[in-house]
Chain A
Amino acid sequence: MSMVKLVNIRKSFGDLEVLKGVNLEVSQGEVVCIIGASGSGKSTLLRCLNQLERISDGEIYIEDVLSDKRANNKDLMKIDPVTVQSLCADLGMVFQSFNLFPHLTVIDNVTIAPLIVKKIDKKIAETRALDLLSMVGLSEKKDEYPSRLSGGQQQRVAIARALAMDPKIMMFDEPTSALDPELVGEVLATMRQLAEKGMTMLIVTHEIGFAREVADRVIFMDAGVICEEGSPEEVLLNPKEERTKSFLNKIL
């Protein structure tokens, strides 16, 4: 079964075409790292998946079920909104800027979506949240407000918050780019732990060392297309494409 399948995705903002026909299939338990220069469309790709942005053209399947199908910015078929919502709920997302809810304590950040979206029992939500917080190593911070946490701690809470919705796929958009260098490791360790548990993951990152270590597949995006893809060894150590080579030279 494929967890995510993108068929010829295009996305334009006005006249600017940002994604120019992307095809991608991710299977269960696979960890895919996406690398590429700024502006190549990496964030847009993730955002189209959970419909924070709507694609202009193409088809998106989540767990083999169609979640979006459009051409020229028009829906090609009416997909039941409830279906779309439940499919998108299977995608967890972690943002570069954490986006924790500042007015809620750590534990409330983790429980709010299960409580109001899934309407599960408060006790159960809290027990689950505590499990997740201990997994990311932050149980003792449960009653703090996000502003009192370091960036690395905030990002780990954000991971716990996404996991609380029991997503089948986790998407990370440069989760460590906003962090001081000494805080990157703790977030990567949490992500590594998730990968080891068999979570399907789509990770946009500039951490080449991390990608080499955890990725099953590395994708290099350039100017809105997938320019090269393959195992970490193939793409990161022996890239075939000139553009991949020059990108890697620039960041290493």
Chain B
Amino acid sequence: MLNEIQLWAIVNGTIVTLEIAIVAIIFGAIFGVVVALGRLSKSKVANTLSWFYIWFFRGTPMLLQLFIIYYAIPIIYLDATGSTFTVNPMIAAFVAFSLNATAYLAEIIRAAIESIDGGQMEASKALGMSYRQAMTKIIIPQTYKRLVAPMGNELIMLLKDTSLVSTIALFDLLRTTKTMASATGSWIYYIYAAAIYLFLTTIIQVVFDKMEKKLGIYER
């Protein structure tokens, strides 16, 4: 069984994993709306910028994005300014995962906005609302229910993908348990890891299912 030190190490690893996933889903949702609106915008500049953003972050491996932020940026900084600069690995993970989640969530949010009947925007405009008012008060609130399930999926993906941070000197849940397994030669630690991942993803599933029901009250 686990001794106290091991237990705390696993708790801390779980916290690292959860922190990164939660920070990423929150920032990803906020910036995802911005990028989605950019994709829907009539402005060529906003449209192109958001297209490239999504193109880059969906088209390259998450691990590469993490390396760029953690390893490449300090080198670029050194070359450019001659002074050294290190990135806190936790901050690097927050940034990389948030940027990545933004790209995926932007596409999800864009699809949800496009699925709202065009008559809603027309009715809003006919009532004198500006584009911005119609979006924030009428269109986007109607996407919430449709966003819950894909957001839940994205959070589960993020939770599992956080194991990549073991490459930038962070001890997440998986790395913590793997270290214990190697040190002791016992496979039981992998079972603990699996149990914790399953516990967390199950909670996410249940909470998001509840949220979806609650947000759908107006749909009879």
Contacts and interface: CB of A to CB of B under 8 A. Distances in A.
Interface of A: 50, 52, 85, 88-89, 91-93, 95, 97, 99-104, 112-113, 116-118, 145-148, 158, 161-162, 165
Interface of B: 117, 119-120, 122-123, 125-129, 133, 137-138, 141-142, 217-220
B140 to A, nearest CB: 10
Nearest to B116: A102
Contacts of B123: 93, 95, 99-101, 158
B219 A52 contact: no
Contacts of B217: 145
A85 B129 CA distance: 9
Contact of A52 (B117, B125, B142): B125
B134 to A, nearest CB: 10
Contact of B128 (A85, A99, A100, A101): A85
A99 B120 contact: yes
Nearest to A148: B220
A100 B126 CA distance: 12
A162 B220 CA distance: 24
A97 B133 contact: no
24 contacts: A50-B125, A52-B122, A88-B128, A92-B126, A93-B123, A95-B123, A95-B126, A99-B119, A101-B123, A101-B138, A101-B142, A104-B218, A112-B138, A113-B128, A116-B129, A117-B128, A117-B129, A118-B128, A146-B218, A148-B220, A158-B123, A161-B127, A162-B126, A165-B128
B129 A147 contact: no
A103 B142 contact: yes
A85 B127 CA distance: 10
B128 A89 contact: yes
A93 B133 CA distance: 18
Contacts of B218: 102-104, 145-147
A221 B154 CA distance: 53
Contacts of A99: 117, 119-120, 122-123
B174 to A, nearest CB: 40
For B127, B129, B217, the residue with the greatest tally of chain A CB atoms inside 10 Å of its CB is B127
A95 B129 contact: no
For A100, A112, A158, the residue with the greatest tally of chain B CB atoms inside 10 Å of its CB is A112
B127 A97 contact: no
